[in-house]
Amino acid sequence: MRKEIKITAVVVLVALVFSLLLTANVLAQEEDRYGGTLNAAFQMSVAHLDSDNSTDSLITAMMNHVYEGLFEFDENLNLTPHLAESYQVGEDGLVYEVKLRENVKLHNGQTMDADDVIASFRRWLELNNGGQLVAPYFDQVEKIDQFNIRFKFAEAYAPFLNILASPVSNQKFVVRAEEVVDEFGTDVIDRHVGTGPYKYEEWVPDQKLVLTRFEDYTPSSREASFFAGKRTAYLDEIVFNFIPDAQVRVSGVQTGQFHFAEEVPRDQYPLFEANQNIDNVIIYPDRMSMLIYNNAEAPFDNKYARQAIAYALDFEELGYAMIGDPQFWRLESALHEEGNPWHVPDAGEGIYGVYDPEKAKELLDQAGYDGDPIVILSGQDNQMERQGAIAIQDQLEEIGIDVELQLFDRPTVVERRSKKEGWHIHLSPFIKIVPDPQIHQGWTGTNKWISNWDSEESREMDQIFAEMLREVDQEKRYEIMERMQSKLWDSVPYFNILDYSRLHIKRAELKDFKGSWQPFFWNTYLE
């Protein structure tokens, strides 16, 4: 008996020592992850870092490390409370009560509270493109107590929470320190105090942005998933370098000077595959190639002419011309990708991808097209835009349409397409991740964005969006989305030719990197 006790004691002791060693090993491994400077190479620079004062989404992509939202999207685009602890929506959709997480530290050492959120929200409402969508329906924001806030609407605005976390064109609402909001007002902020895992250190325009770890960061207790949940800052420092030349970004990753490079030439994919120090990162969903009509100019002021172009184009051939390797593109008629809760699987049935030049000619006749040249306005710096425009010109000329191709640099394209005349078709890349169908309202409807669409059909579309705006029931909103997609493919003020992915690369020593629609570097570490 005593011997058995002894054996049991020894076994227990060994197990205890073993588990202690294991725990120590895990902790040591976790500890090993900390440290290092990550150098990332981005293609474009930005004018400043104030997301409320620009629609350039690169600002949010970088400043997501510094600022956080009340809500963030996870990997499956589920809206998740982040700086918010919980929330309640009134039955009529007019009141949203948000409870904030307590003990969240700002980079100035103070605790984030309702005053910071309210000050940031008011600025967002006034300046931000997303805030301006919300403002016409909004009534007021009230402080219930230090960590509870009430948002009140004058009219129901169903997409409110999704827009607060939207990654589109800097629409996302982020929490800034109240003192900074008071100091800068509507001016561009150049002193950045947020709650994120990294804090602002240095900004050299056109050269680099340096962020350093925020030691007092208070992570969310939720499971980490893309932008939502727990964020751990393993890296001491993150340097975003702005490198316009793609080949230099590639060379930088090859030599180890950069650990990540955004948007590199897709035709070099096999080279990167063969290099054991480099990992390819292909993001799907990423971009969609959008053909936009000038709906104010004949012949495209007539929906039959617009439909005709969809029938006249061989989308698959366009895919090869625009992007090349089919692993980087896929045909997709819906505005939301497969897996997105708003995806409509049968969108554009009967017209999308139906290559029928004869039908196209019939429709053009029906529209009364008189043979005047069609002007395609496109960018010359981006492969998709340039190659796409040339391929569309070829295909349209095959059915007897006289096409004038106008390829310009970006500033010229941006200026020309903003005019009501002088162009008929414009090709533009759109970000595919759109977390709420209401966001399409920004470019879909009467005289929205550049489409110059002003007709009975556009007003019907406005009605659909107005319905969607008021409807707070998710299922009913989806039904409205189906109607919207159906209407869109019937009236075709613009259409999605295909979805495509950009190619990013990273060094193999950068571990646990998650490829998302906007690159982020928390929860990743350098081995």
Partner 1 sequence: MRNYIIKRLLLLVPIILIVAVIAFFITNLMPGDPVRVILGNMATESEVARLEQSLGLDQPLIMRFFRWLANIIKGDFGESLYLNAPVSEVLFERLRPTLFIAVMAEVMGITSGLLLGILAAVNHRKVLDQFSITLSLFGISIPSFWLALMLMFVFSVNLGWFPVSGYEPFTEAGFGSFRYLILPAVTLAFMQAGLIARMTRSAMLDTLKQDYIRTAKSKGLSRKIIVFKHALKNSMLPVITVIGHNFAVLLGGTWIVETIFVIPGTGFMAINAIMRRDIPVIQASIIFVAVIYVIINLFVDLSYAFLNPKIRYH
Note the residues at the interface with partner 1 (CB under 8 A).
45, 47-48, 54-57, 129, 132, 169-170, 188, 204-207, 241-245, 247-248, 251-252, 254-255, 257, 408-412, 414-416, 418, 428, 442-443, 449
Q: Which is nearer to partner 1, 406 or 486 (CB)?
A: 406
Q: Which is nearer to partner 1, 56 or 362 (CB)?
A: 56
Rounded to a whole number of angstroms, the minimum distance from the CB of residue 149 to partner 1 is 27
What kind and span of H or E run contains 16? Answer: helix 2-32
Q: Which is nearer to partner 1, 50 or 68 (CB)?
A: 50
Rounded to a whole number of angstroms, the minimum distance from the CB of residue 131 to partner 1 is 12
Rounded to a whole number of angstroms, the minimum distance from the CB of residue 80 to partner 1 is 25
**Alpha-carbon gap, residue 498 to 250, rounded angstroms:** 26
**Alpha-carbon gap, residue 404 to 202, rounded angstroms:** 47
Rounded to a whole number of angstroms, the minimum distance from the CB of residue 368 to partner 1 is 31
Q: Which is nearer to partner 1, 58 or 484 (CB)?
A: 58
**Alpha-carbon gap, residue 519 to 248, rounded angstroms:** 19
**Alpha-carbon gap, residue 324 to 377, rounded angstroms:** 22
223, amino acid identity: E
505 three-state secondary structure: strand
Rounded to a whole number of angstroms, the minimum distance from the CB of residue 270 to partner 1 is 17
Q: Which is nearer to partner 1, 273 or 415 (CB)?
A: 415
Rounded to a whole number of angstroms, the minimum distance from the CB of residue 19 to partner 1 is 45
Residue of 325, 197, 320 whose CA lies nearest to 272: 325
Rounded to a whole number of angstroms, the minimum distance from the CB of residue 192 to partner 1 is 15
DSSP sequence for 478-491: HHHHHHHHHHHHHH
**Alpha-carbon gap, residue 361 to 378, rounded angstroms:** 24
Rounded to a whole number of angstroms, the minimum distance from the CB of residue 345 to partner 1 is 28
- The number of beta carbons lying within 10 Å of the beta carbon of residue 385 is 22
Q: Which is nearer to partner 1, 410 or 476 (CB)?
A: 410
Q: Which is nearer to partner 1, 129 or 378 (CB)?
A: 129
Residue of 433, 370, 382, 379 whose CA lies nearest to 405: 379
| E strand segments, 322-481 | 329-330, 374-379, 403-408, 425-431
Q: Which is nearer to partner 1, 378 or 428 (CB)?
A: 428
Rounded to a whole number of angstroms, the minimum distance from the CB of residue 241 to partner 1 is 7
Q: Which is nearer to partner 1, 206 or 398 (CB)?
A: 206
- The number of beta carbons lying within 10 Å of the beta carbon of residue 30 is 12
Residue of 185, 178, 165, 182 whose CA lies nearest to 106: 178
Q: Are strands 260-261 and 37-42 parallel, antiparallel or unpaired?
A: parallel
**Alpha-carbon gap, residue 167 to 69, rounded angstroms:** 11
**Alpha-carbon gap, residue 377 to 369, rounded angstroms:** 19
Which residue carries 């928390």 as its tokens?
A: 522
Q: Which is nearer to partner 1, 55 or 327 (CB)?
A: 55
For residues 51 and 166, is the Cβ–Cβ distance under 8 A? no
DSSP sequence for 41-72: EES---S-S-GGG---THHHHHHTTT---SEE
Q: Which is nearer to partner 1, 129 or 485 (CB)?
A: 129
For residues 118 and 100, is the Cβ–Cβ distance under 8 A? no
What kind and span of H or E run contains 89? Answer: strand 84-89
Rounded to a whole number of angstroms, the minimum distance from the CB of residue 183 to partner 1 is 16
DSSP sequence for 324-361: -SGGGEE---SSS-TTSTT--TTTTTTTTT---HHHHH
Rounded to a whole number of angstroms, the minimum distance from the CB of residue 206 to partner 1 is 6
Q: Which is nearer to partner 1, 55 or 110 (CB)?
A: 55
Token digits of residue 469: 């705006």
Rounded to a whole number of angstroms, the minimum distance from the CB of residue 514 to partner 1 is 26
Q: Which is nearer to partner 1, 34 or 408 (CB)?
A: 408
The 3-class SS string of 281-316 reads: EECCCCEEEEEEECCCCCCCCCHHHHHHHHHHCCHH
Rounded to a whole number of angstroms, the minimum distance from the CB of residue 448 to partner 1 is 10
